[in-house]
Amino acid sequence: MSEFEGKVAVITGAGNGLGRSHAHEFAKRGAKVVINDLGGAVDGSGAGDAADAVVKEIEAMGGTAIANKASVADKDGAKSIIDDAISAFGRIDILVNNAGILRDRSFKKMTLEEWDLVMQVHLNGSAYVTHAAWPHMNEQKYGRIVLTSSGSGIYGNYGQANYGAAKMGMLGLMNVLALEGAKNNVRINTLAPGATTRMIATIPGRDLDVDNPPPGSAPKLVSPAVLYMSCEEAPNGAVINAMGGKYYRSQVFVNEAVDLGHDATFEDLETQAERLMDMSAAKPPSRGA
């Protein structure tokens, strides 16, 4: 019997791609799954029945799932996702924040509306759904939350200032909630995935067949990391990268401080620029500011 047997997992943006793969993997192991998906296009426009289709797939394999078609970017809609889980299954054990959109454009050509919309769906949407789940998890003294970041945020990618900023924001949210939830066994981690999906296929220059991804870029190869971050022995406050069957951790490192005293000036610091920029002996910082 899997440790996920009987657990209740909520997955946003689970109508396609990575979210759908995560949902299948949880359901295979006996979890009861809430499939949230607005059913829109990659740019966030429109709506559809993608969530219903995934529910049918899970039911066909003998699993249990319900659909929710709310937008994570709407406060009431985000709350309804968690409300549906509690109403249908009585609790929520796992939340995977996966929903997202793209509005790629170089920063000088990007409109502020395109900036706002991407931030609203990715960063605010993750916060809204997590905020709704937070009291339930803390009260029952158990919860596992996964945020979804990206290499665009952690390392940078041309033409994705809005997306990258939102995705790096996941690390800040995780770092704080990892501290706040620890006392009640609520753990939160962040996924940095790589796979062939509808979203990736929209990036200029990519010629991808989403329905038949190359073996090394299938979404199912990302899902093991999500289940690891959702299990009972999950870490807390970790960033796990997953792509093509390869998994590794990313972490912030700091070097030794250049101590110039309370009378420090720019000229003083300029003379120590080489030491300031030297990361050869850097190490992870202590948790907390």
Predicted structure pTM score: 0.91
Check residue 160 and report its DSSP letter.
B
Concerning whether 155 is annotated as a catalytic residue, the answer is no
* pLDDT tens sequence across 156-213: 889 999 999 999 999 999 999 999 999 999 999 999 999 875 556 555 555 556 566 6
Number of H helices, E strands in the chain: 11, 8
Q: Give residue 43's pLDDT.
A: 65
Tokens representing 201 are 């296929």
For residue 215, pLDDT over 80 is answered with no
Q: Give residue 209's pLDDT.
A: 60
Q: Which domains does the chain have, with CATH numbers?
A: 8-250 (3.40.50.720), 253-289 (no CATH)
Q: Which is nearest to 34 in space by CA: 79, 68, 83?
A: 68
Q: What are phi and psi of 50, to 5 degrees?
A: -60, -35
Q: Which of these is catalytic: 128, 142, 163, 228?
A: 163
* pLDDT tens sequence across 51-70: 999 999 999 999 999 999 99
Which amino acid is present at 209? D
Q: What are phi and psi of 252, to 5 degrees?
A: -75, 135
